[in-house]
Amino acid sequence: MNETDTQKQIINISWKFNKKDESYYPTITLFDHNTNEVQVLMLRNYIFNYILTTERYCPGYHYLDGYHPCPYNNILNKDSYSQCFYCDKKQGFREAFLFQGEANEFMQEYLKQKHYVYLAYFEPGIVKVGTAAESRKFLRPIEQDALVYMFIAESDGFSIQDLEHTISKEIGLTEAVRSGHKFRYLSQKPNVDKAKKLLMSYFAKIYDRYKDNDKFSSWIIEKPELVDLSSLVTYPEDEVYKVKNSETDYLVGKFHAIRGRYTIFENSNILLAVDERRIIGKYIKDYQDDYHYKVENRKSEIKDQLSMI
């Protein structure tokens, strides 16, 4: 029996945003290859009981007409791969947005929409500059575990990265905060007052520098609003242990939180975190209600794990 014969594949673990009531909720998205149905499951109070394939398979791509599963079911043999070469080219995001190559029809439409530059705060006093498309304006920051942020400029997707890179270079702001750093501060709720002062301070520098710039001045939002999502997420009160690579064939326990790219769940009164890069693309082989993860020398192990993230 082929290990993918169960036909249900994990294609995403992320947040959803309800525009009607402006609420956020964590979800896991499965694709059933038997019925060609996309299933979005709410994760609050959800009990995972998955035995997963050892291999990860390409989760497919999105195009103008919606989601498409990978036609070749290609294996992803590196954690850093989120799609196979074929699906990556079909979707076209990296080619057009990251590498400034020619945009396909889907990316032409995507890049035409309004895009934003945002400043985001991370403990213990780090400010990141990033971008978000209009269609993902409310999701991009929280997916990055950016819980206190402000949108400071807007333009189209073809141009917005120019300002992002310029701000990073000239103002001295990072464009990325390491996942390992975020993991270290999982339990620390952001200091919103400190965040506001720091974000406004950097915005003032940006405004002063580019208010008379021929290219960027019209993009700047003169009165940016602070967004505070710090009350929406869960801050673990106990230590969180990273699931060993050898045990990512199991996802068993009660959902606790999504924080950045980590899904946190409780198993045998222990909080565990699994990197989404190690489970997205896997198929559900079977179901099992009970599995005990190997967590030895807990206090010393967490330090070792964090040093390797």
Encode pLDDT of 35-61 as tens digits. 999 999 999 999 999 999 999 999 999
Q: Does residue 189 register a pLDDT over 50?
A: yes
Length of the chain (residues): 309
Q: What is the pLDDT of residue 307?
A: 37
Does 171 score more than 60 pLDDT? yes
**What is the pLDDT at residue 304?**
44
Q: Give the tokens for residue 149.
A: 């942020």
Strands (E) in the chain, as ranges, are: 8-18, 23-32, 37-42, 47-52, 56-57, 61-63, 66-68, 75-76, 114-122, 126-133, 148-156, 226-228, 240-242, 250-259, 262-267, 270-275, 284-287
Q: 13-23: per-residue pLDDT in tens?
A: 999 999 999 99
pLDDT given at position 295: 86
* Rounded percentage of the chain residues whose pLDDT exceeds 90: 86
The pLDDT of residue 1 is 36
**Residue 305 pLDDT > 70:** no
| Mean pLDDT within 267-287 | 97
What pLDDT score was predicted for residue 75?
A: 98
- Single pTM value for the model: 0.91
What is the residue extent of each domain of the chain? 8-82+234-308, 113-228
The predicted-structure confidence for 76-89, as pLDDT tens digits, reads as follows: 999 889 999 999 99
pLDDT in tens, 93-147: 888 766 667 888 999 999 999 999 999 999 999 999 999 999 999 999 999 999 9
pLDDT of residue 103: 85
Start-to-end Cα distance in the chain = 35
Cα–Cα distances in angstroms (integers) from residue 306 to residues 114, 132, 154, 183, 300, in the given order:
37, 29, 36, 8, 10
Burial readout 257-276 (b: 16 or more C-beta within 10 A, e: otherwise): bbbbbbbbbbbeebbbbbbb
